[in-house]
Amino acid sequence: MLSQKAPIGIFDSGYGGLTILNEIRKVMPQYDYLYLGDNARSPYGSRSFEIVYKFTLQAVKKLFSFGCPLVILACNTASAKALRSIQQQDLPLMEDPTRRVLGVIRPTIEIIDQLSSTKHVGILATEGTVGSHSYPIEIGKLFPSLVVHEEACPMWVPLVENGEYNSPGADFFVRKHLEALLSKDRAIDTIVLGCTHYPLLREKIQQYLPSFVHIVAQGEYVATSLKDYLLRHRDMEQRLSKEGTTRYLSTEQESKFVEKASVFLQESILAEQIIID
């Protein structure tokens, strides 16, 4: 087992996990973070289960090889399609089975029962996340009486990644999917943004929703849940380094990563290109 302290690994298919990283750093600025974006192979949203699982496992192993004892899958698609298999099949067989991998779906849904009065909720996510039905399955375990509807929004990630999230063109696709979701059930009063990119569309989303509908952007819930996890798992907390730094790794060229990351971050950063296989 590694005795040296090491950063928390944050993995995403690309840039979207930066929205989660931002919120985690707000709540826990003292820790070190190692962000890995698999930008060269993103988006994961419309990829098959097998491919998302394979790519995610490779990324987790890469972050482990950098010493991270704890990895957060800051990607809904990876959390939906790969987390369970990694936790249950792969981790126990690894050289150090005490390392941990956590996702973003569970922390997000833990609070929705409190937020919803009508007990009808909506999930907006990528095709992959919706196709896995991970949100309704996980919600069903915690709150079996909640009524859940899902809507895949395949155009929303490209809108954000191409910096079009504030443009008039974005309104068409935002409205289209919100109307599709609400037409399934007019009693929906809580909508989960189940994709890392969607918080950037939040203002537009708000515009097309009735005022009684709560929007759940997951970053803050993931952050508080992680804080709580570390309070409950002191052995893990002791393994984490605390210099307040963040290092960025990407499978894409450094300059490309830095340029697009600026959409998600309010600071200039350096990045390193790595190969994962």
Q: Select from 154, 166, 153, 161 the least CA-distant residue to 124.
A: 153
What residues contact 50, with CB distance under 8 A and at least 6 apart? none
What DSSP letter does each residue of 99-125 carry, written as one string?
A: -EEE-SHHHHHTTHHHH-SSSEEEEEE
What residues contact 97, with CB distance under 8 A and at least 6 apart? 91
Minimum separation from the CB atom of position 111 to ligand DGL (A) = 18
Q: How many CA atoms lie within 13 A of 229 on its CB side?
A: 22
Residue (77 or 116) nearer to ligand DGL, CB: 77
73 lies in the binding site for ligand DGL (CB under 6 A): no
Burial 72-91 (b: 16+ CB within 10 A, else e): bbbbbbbbbbbbeebeeebb
Residue (140 or 154) nearer to ligand DGL, CB: 154
Find the residue with minimal CB distance to ligand DGL: 45
Number of residues that bind ligand DGL (CB under 6 A): 17
Q: How far apart are CA 123 and CA 121, in angstroms?
A: 7
What's the sign of the alpha-carbon dihedral 12, 15, 18, 20? negative
Sketch the per residue contact string, 120 through 159, with ligand DGL: x for CB under 6 A, - otherwise: ------x--x---------------------------x--
Minimum separation from the CB atom of position 120 to ligand DGL (A) = 23
Residue (16 or 136) nearer to ligand DGL, CB: 16
Asked, as a colleague might, if the bond just before 97 is cis with ω within 30 of 0, I would say no
- Residue from 44, 165, 221, 248 touching ligand DGL (CB under 6 A): that is 44
Q: How far apart are CA 103 and CA 248, in angstroms?
A: 19
Residue (6 or 191) nearer to ligand DGL, CB: 191
Minimum separation from the CB atom of position 47 to ligand DGL (A) = 8
DSSP designation for 90: I
**Annotated binding-site residue? 44:** yes
Active site residues: 75, 195
13 lies in the binding site for ligand DGL (CB under 6 A): yes
**Annotated binding-site residue? 196:** yes
Residue (116 or 196) nearer to ligand DGL, CB: 196
**CB-based contact 261:268 (threshold 8 Å):** no
- Residue from 56, 76, 116, 132 touching ligand DGL (CB under 6 A): that is 76
160 lies in the binding site for ligand DGL (CB under 6 A): no
**Annotated binding-site residue? 149:** no
Q: Which residues bind ligand DGL (CB under 6 A)?
A: 12-14, 16, 42-45, 75-77, 126, 129, 157, 195-197
Specify binding-site residues for substrate: 12-13, 44-45, 76-77, 196-197
